[in-house]
């Protein structure tokens, strides 16, 4: 690591945008050089490396084999939920399997520009399917395995896939989730009908195939002819990834081939400090953007070994699961969500299970997905004794907006901050007038256009919606939807979603700031704060607390403590007077707390069961817990999934 080199890199990325990214693009293999680095002829719509041609699969797989690294491990699959299955796949083996599955798709009529939905659990075949699409120029759209049928149907109708790749089932710690009935129901609901489905039969729950439509993965692979890499335009879409939309219609985030490859390979060294051959583990799922960027593409573009884990942070078998995986497979860096560490901390508050494993290989922990509360960050630093990097990015951006670039310069940590903007990102907190607010003041966090390579150029078949959602409110800027501040040292602090800034008697307050106080209580494992309606003040904050295992204090004492702590830290203006202890918080499968749904339940507003919820029963628990406080008087769910 070279100290003191961030500033010139960052300044160059803004002062000489094209020169900076052209130099990074030299690390990618192109079949045709670009005509221009950034096409800025039609602002606010920008495209990177127009005229250039490449193949993302070649850069992620074949290139390493051709360079003599075919025996290097590409993927390690570790599955405690299937009884401890471990599979190791070299780059040469991966090249063979991807080329043959690309041949399967080509044999089904899939070609350049066609869409393929991947509806898979966390198995190597999911990554193979994604890479196979990239190999032949098809556009993959990964849908989280086990998504409800009507949600899958919406995505089928939006991207109109020629084929769907799925599995017979997914496996949770205590149950098997049958995917095939969901897939069949989704196709029945959808207006668009894919011509083929390729199904991986898992021994835990084989399924019946539909004659004339469904193809068995293993049988098709056994007779497939390998397909070669097809060069595509840098501006051609690599994938579509759907993220929730406020209208109920999901937004199809588009990722292009050229800018994506350039940005991800660059990030692997600058931010994550990863070198070829080292083991990187993103403990996420291929259904989320983290899985796309840092389970599949980023590590493989860099020539690293990527770890695919089919398990949980706790319960497979205990809160030491992550330490076992790190030690057993020589993981250098782990990327996961703060919620995973809060779950581990809740079960093993003293970190005693860490001592059972040799973690000498482990050098850094990266947290993202939602803001990491300082207490969890400091706890992780204490028990792991490695740098802990809280970094911030979004499905739309594809890679980090802000982080601690330990590959070039490790900055002092400020708990609660995502540290510094990454190269190419001009990050500001804007006021309602569209101008930056003074350092340290909360505003709407926005990024100056053009965004760096690898970010979304548009939404699938919805350019107008792209403009309205992200570009219209602050001309010349990308609106992240997050509220926060940039301090006097240039550190970026993401406090909450803009929608989670509550107005208490005319005072704009951050629920994230209150959560930071609650999380600092020694008995609190997890927490959330939402704004609920109040006749006098408009909104007042309401806290939800999940206590650590083995806590001896009464619920009443903990609630009284946190009410006092918020008053002492933020002041009476916060009007924080109510909190309740609950067994667990409702979350998405990626670990984000469903604060908006909790707020609607409390205010007795109509709400829809989120398609991404991990366990719907938790919402009933929340509703029951709220009633004694006078909330959730008339809960009403609309739609559902």
pLDDT at 2 over 70: no
pLDDT score of 569: 79
Count CB atoms within 10 A of the CB of residue 203.
8
For 218, how many CA atoms within 13 A lie in the half-sphere containing its CB?
A: 7
- Look at 265-274, 494-503, 525-534 and tell me which has the smallest mean pLDDT: 494-503
pLDDT score of 538: 74
What are the pLDDT digits (tens) for 236-280? 999 999 986 544 578 999 999 999 999 999 999 999 999 999 999
pLDDT score of 67: 98
pLDDT band, residue 636 (cuts 50/70/90): low
What does the angle CA 334 – CA 457 – CA 122 come to, to the nearest 5 degrees?
A: 35
pLDDT at 639 over 50: no
pLDDT score of 1: 38
pLDDT score of 500: 65
- Look at 154-163, 219-228, 277-286, 593-602 and tell me which has the smallest mean pLDDT: 593-602
Average pLDDT of the chain to the nearest whole number: 92
pLDDT score of 215: 98
DSSP state letters, 7-70: HHHHHHHHHTHHHHHHHHHTTS--SB--S-SEEEEETTEEEESTT-EE-HHIIIIIHHHHTT-T
- Look at 111-125, 332-346, 347-361, 418-432 and tell me which has the smallest mean pLDDT: 332-346
What are the pLDDT digits (tens) for 76-108? 999 999 999 999 999 999 999 999 999 999 999
- All domains in the chain, ordered by first residue: 6-311+391-484 (3.40.50.12780), 499-637 (3.30.300.30)
What are the pLDDT digits (tens) for 96-147? 999 999 999 999 999 999 999 999 999 999 999 999 999 999 999 999 887 7
- What is the DSSP code (8-state) at residue 194? -
pLDDT score of 507: 60
- Look at 60-69, 377-386, 439-448, 606-615 and tell me which has the smallest mean pLDDT: 606-615
pLDDT at 625 over 70: yes
Three-class DSSP category at 629: helix
Contacts of 401 (CB under 8 A, 6+ apart): 392, 393, 394, 418, 421, 422, 425, 427, 447, 480, 492
Q: Give the residues across from 50 on adjacent strands.
A: none
pLDDT at 637 over 90: no
Q: Are strands 73-79 and 305-309 parallel, antiparallel or unpaired?
A: parallel
Query: Hey, which bits of 536-600 come out as E strands?
Result: 538-547, 578-581
Task: Report the percentage of the chain scoring pLDDT > 70.
Answer: 96
pLDDT at 206 over 80: yes
pLDDT score of 640: 44
pLDDT score of 313: 94
pLDDT at 641 over 90: no
Quick one: average pLDDT of 556-580? 88
């Amino acid at each position: 690591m070279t100290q003191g080199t961030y500033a010139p890199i960052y300044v160059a990325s803004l002062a000489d945008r094209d020169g900076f990214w052209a130099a990074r693009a030299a690390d990618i293999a192109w079949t045709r050089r670009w005509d221009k680095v950034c096409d800025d002829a039609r602002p606010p719509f920008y495209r990177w490396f127009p005229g250039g041609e490449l193949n993302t699969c070649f850069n992620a797989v074949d290139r390493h084999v051709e360079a003599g690294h075919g025996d290097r491990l590409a993927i390690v699959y570790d599955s405690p939920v299937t009884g401890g299955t471990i599979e190791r796949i070299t780059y040469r083996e991966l090249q063979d399997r991807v080329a043959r599955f690309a041949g399967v798709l080509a044999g089904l009529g899939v070609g350049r520009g066609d869409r393929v939905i991947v509806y898979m659990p966390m198995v190597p075949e999911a990554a193979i399917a994604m890479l196979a699409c990239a190999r032949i120029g098809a556009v993959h759209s990964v849908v989280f395995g086990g998504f409800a049928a009507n949600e899958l149907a919406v995505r089928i109708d939006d991207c109109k896939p020629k084929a769907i790749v799925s599995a017979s089932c997914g496996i949770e710690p205590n149950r098997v989730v049958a995917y095939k009935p969901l897939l069949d129901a989704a196709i029945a609901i959808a207006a668009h009908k894919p011509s083929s489905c390729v199904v991986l039969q898992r021994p835990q729950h084989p399924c019946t195939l539909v004659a004339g439509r469904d193809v068995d993965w293993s049988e098709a692979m056994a007779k497939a002819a390998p397909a070669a890499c097809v060069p595509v335009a840098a501006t051609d879409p690599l994938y579509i990834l759907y993220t929730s939309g406020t209208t109920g219609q999901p937004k199809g985030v588009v990722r292009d081939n050229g800018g994506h490859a350039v940005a991800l390979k660059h990030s692997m060294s600058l931010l994550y400090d990863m070198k070829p051959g080292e083991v990187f583990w993103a403990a996420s799922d291929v259904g989320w953007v983290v899985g796309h960027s840092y389970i599949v593409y980023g590590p493989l573009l860099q020539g690293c070994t990527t770890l695919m884990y089919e398990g949980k942070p706790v319960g497979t078998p205990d809160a030491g699961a992550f330490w076992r995986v790190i030690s057993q497979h020589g993981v250098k860096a782990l990327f996961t969500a703060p919620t995973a560490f809060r779950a581990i901390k809740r079960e093993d508050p003293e970190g005693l299970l860490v001592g059972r494993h040799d973690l000498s290989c482990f050098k850094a922990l990266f947290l993202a997905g939602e803001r990491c509360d300082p207490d969890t960050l400091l706890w992780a630093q204490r028990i792991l004794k490695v740098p802990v990097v809280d970094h911030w990015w979004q499905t739309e951006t594809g890679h980090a907006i802000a982080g601690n670039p330990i590959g070039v310069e490790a900055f002092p940590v400020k708990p609660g901050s995502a540290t510094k903007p990454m190269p190419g990102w001009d990050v500001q907190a804007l006021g309602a007038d569209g101008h930056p607010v003074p350092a340290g003041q909360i505003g709407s966090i926005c990024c100056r256009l053009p965004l760096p390579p690898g970010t979304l150029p548009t939404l699938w078949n919805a350019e107008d919606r792209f403009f309205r959602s992200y570009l219209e409110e602050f001309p010349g800027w990308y609106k992240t939807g997050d509220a926060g501040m940039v301090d006097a040292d240039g550190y970026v602090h993401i406090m909450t979603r803009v929608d989670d800034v509550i107005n208490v008697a005319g005072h704009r307050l951050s629920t994230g700031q209150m959560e930071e106080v609650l999380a600092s209580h020694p008995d609190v494992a997890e927490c959330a704060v939402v704004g609920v309606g109040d006749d006098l003040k408009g909104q007042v904050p309401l806290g939800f607390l999940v206590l650590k295992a083995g806590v001896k204090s009464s619920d009443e004492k903990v609630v009284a403590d946190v009410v006092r702590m918020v008053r002492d830290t933020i002041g009476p203006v916060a009007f924080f007077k109510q909190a309740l202890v609950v067994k667990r918080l409702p979350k998405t499968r990626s670990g984000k707390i469903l604060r908006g749904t909790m707020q609607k339940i409390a205010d007795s507003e109509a709400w829809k069961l989120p398609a991404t919820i991990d366990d719907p029963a938790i919402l009933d628990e929340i509703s029951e817990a709220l009633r004694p406080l006078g909330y959730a008087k008339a809960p009403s769910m609309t739609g559902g999934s």
